[in-house]
Amino acid sequence: MKTTAEHDLRIAKMTFASVYPHYVKKVESKGRTKEELHEVIEWLTGFDTRKIIELIDAKVTFEDFFAQAQLNTNAALITGVICGYRIEEIENLLTKKTRYLDKLIDELAKGKKMEKILRKA
């Protein structure tokens, strides 16, 4: 499924701060912790908890969020379908990075082991 320019622009302009509480609620409602969420975000982006909070407070867009990130070299190992899109087929790089994050959070909420989520095994 190909994303549209409007879809990609909407993601680019969405603030990380507006979505972050939904991430926390999703993982905590499934028995996972905010610390685990931060571990997943740090693995993908290189942002530690202090930096995550700083980005939330600054209300950065996903465009700015990923512009500052040092994407994990194993991020390309994140595959599958999220939000109706096959990640490996997404052409827009920012949308793909955002869907990487969504997929990792989804895996965390579904109870996958951390070493599998972080592509260690």
Per-residue model confidence as pLDDT tens digits over 59-85: 999 999 999 999 999 999 999 999 888
* Closest by Cα among 36, 38, 14 to 99: 14
Task: Residue 89: count other Cβ atoms within 10 Å of its Cβ.
Answer: 12
Task: Sort 31 into a burial class: Cβ within 10 Å, 0-12 / 13-18 / 19+.
Answer: exposed
- What are the sequence ranges of the domains in the chain? 5-114
Q: Which amino acid is at 33?
A: T
The proportion of the chain whose per-residue pLDDT surpasses 70, expressed as a percent, equals: 98
Alpha helix locations (H) across the chain? Answer: 5-13, 16-29, 34-45, 49-57, 62-68, 93-109, 114-117
- The phi-psi region of residue 111 (left if phi > 0; otherwise alpha if psi is between -120 and 50; otherwise beta) is left
- Confidence class for position 4, pLDDT limits 50, 70, 90: confident
Mean local confidence (pLDDT), 80-97: 93
Paired tokens of 105: 């959070």
Q: Does residue 121 or residue 40 have the better pLDDT?
A: 40
Sign for the CA dihedral angle at 26, 60, 100, 9 comes to: positive
Q: Domain spanning 5-114: which CATH class is it, in words?
A: mainly alpha
Specify the higher pLDDT residue, 84 or 103.
Answer: 103
Q: Once rounded to an integer, what is the mean pLDDT over residues 11-18?
A: 96
pLDDT band at residue 5 using 50, 70 and 90 as cut-offs: confident
Per-residue pLDDT, 121: 53
Higher pLDDT pick, 92 / 1: 92
